[in-house]
Amino acid sequence: MDGRNRVVRFSVSVLVAALAAACVDSKQAVAPNSTAFSTPPSAAQGFLGYSDTAAGTPVCGNCHVGKLAEWKGTAHSHAWADLQASGHAQASCEPCHTVNANGNAVADSNVGWLATHNPRYRDVQCESCHGPGMTHVTNPDASQPLASMLVGVGLTNGCGECHQGINNPFLDEWAQSAHGLVPHAGGKAGTTQPCVTCHTGNGALVAWGLDLNYLEKDSLAATNGHMPITCAVCHDPHDATNDKQLRFPIDVASVSNNLCMKCHHYRAVPDPTSGGGPMSPQGPLLLGTAGWRSPDFGPTDTTIRGTHGSSGNPDLCVTCHVARAKVTDASGNLVLNSTGHLFVAIPCLDTQGRPTPSDTCAEPQRSFAACAASGCHGTPDAARSAFDVATQRIQALVTELNAMVAKVPASQFSTADSVTITAGEGAKFNARLGAMTGSPVHNPFLMEQLLTSSIKQLQKTYGISPTSNITLQDILAAPAGGR
């Protein structure tokens, strides 16, 4: 928006405000003194809080009426009442349930509620995240209080300032997760187009068509212009239309609209222009469309959905990968109220029983608690043994297929012809899909059919025989995973 438009819009809205004292647009300006609010105590240091405490209307909401309506639907708008109703309210709780320096860039903690105990600063309001609004409200066009999208351990800004600690360790766990990596810091690719659309938080928001304005938007130089996949990439700071303020639903079977699948769907089927294997095929695999289909694959309806991708598991990825777990010590004291924000499905536990991001422990040391907590499996051990059986079956098939792929003539793997997928290329793709961590869980039924049909196709196309000591019959005769 250029300066001229801005001035015109402003003077028009001054007029509207003078006549009607109301606004209709979330960005429409009114004359500052038409936003009736009593002068805030000077000790609050520029924080305005509510203009109408009884109605729960932050000063900001008088002009940003769209944002006001959204925010009213969030838990942040009743954080104070919930604290009081808990029966455990005490002074130490208040920094996270009121407006003060938590969540914004202000360094002095003695501001807002903590400096005044004035009821206008109750709840997690706009200024909790945006910082003090006095300067902006006095002259909206001169400067705007942008909120932070970045979070990090030790950072005195953003969601993490409140969402941390043993009761709410969202920040603590997220920071150790793959989503918390500064893109590229882990040595993984993803700084170029189209890679940034999934590998960076800022790139994903743009790819999703969200033109948002935030503090770090133009200042990501320290991280090569890239932001990790932070809280407000998955969560909408203002809007609770989806449960838990998620930007997209988690319970829809759609790679284009499911929050996790929007990124977890890259190269789920072979791309004739590249020899690359699958990258993030989990969405399509769960939904039954992943993998290379040999000419006589079988069913004409090529969707083969397993239990985990069906209505039997309505929360899909989230059931297994974002599961809460309460960890207590021998005397029953809380050690950690884990939030599942490591995003690990079967985590290794540390000596205190806390989930860790490590994937180096042996399978018996992993926790299958999420599988039982979901109500799907009777006990963690029942899920564990189903996992073991499926893993063995698929690993045996992958070993067999890899040995056969090694005998396919090299000429079959040329990417010069970027139109067709040869049987060799397709089989190799399926073997790599089967070897990915998680494939035996995401869709064991589809995986077994893809692998066995690839084995048959290599026999048919190239006359290559299965090579291992175990026969296909042996593999398929093994009992399938039970509940």
Binding residues for ligand HEC restricted to 274-293, rule: CB under 6 A: 279-280, 282-283, 286
101 binds ligand HEC (CB under 6 A): no
- Pattern of binders to ligand HEC over 355-394, x per CB under 6 A? ----x-----------------------------------
Burial code of 186-197, b = ≥16 C-beta within 10 A, e = fewer?
Answer: eeeebbeeebbb
Residue tagged 């090694």 (tokens): 406
Nearer to ligand HEC, 372 or 403 (CB): 372
Tokens encoding 246: 């998620």
List the one residue out of 249, 242, 237 whose CA is nearest residue 212.
237
Find the shortest distance in angstroms from Cβ 460 to ligand HEC: 31
Tokens encoding 483: 């509940």
421 binds ligand HEC (CB under 6 A): no
59 binds ligand HEC (CB under 6 A): yes
**Under 8 Å between Cβ of 366 and 348:** yes
- Pattern of binders to ligand HEC over 427-466, x per CB under 6 A? ----------xx--xx------------------------
244 binds ligand HEC (CB under 6 A): yes
117 binds ligand HEC (CB under 6 A): no
Residue tagged 């990439």 (tokens): 233
Q: Which of 129, 390, 396, 431 binds ligand HEC (CB under 6 A)?
A: 129
List the one residue out of 230, 55, 20 whose CA is nearest residue 125.
55
Find the shortest distance in angstroms from Cβ 148 to ligand HEC: 6
**Under 8 Å between Cβ of 255 and 284:** yes
Q: Which of 71, 113, 121, 292 binds ligand HEC (CB under 6 A)?
A: 71
Question: What's the CA gap between 426 and 298, in Å, rounded?
Answer: 16
Nearer to ligand HEC, 232 or 455 (CB): 232
346 binds ligand HEC (CB under 6 A): yes
CB count within 10 Å of CB 473 equals 7
CA distances from 88 to 75, 81, 84 (A): 18, 12, 7
**Under 8 Å between Cβ of 158 and 151:** yes
- Pattern of binders to ligand HEC over 313-332, x per CB under 6 A? x--xxxxxxx-x--------
Nearer to ligand HEC, 60 or 421 (CB): 60
163 binds ligand HEC (CB under 6 A): yes
**Under 8 Å between Cβ of 85 and 93:** no
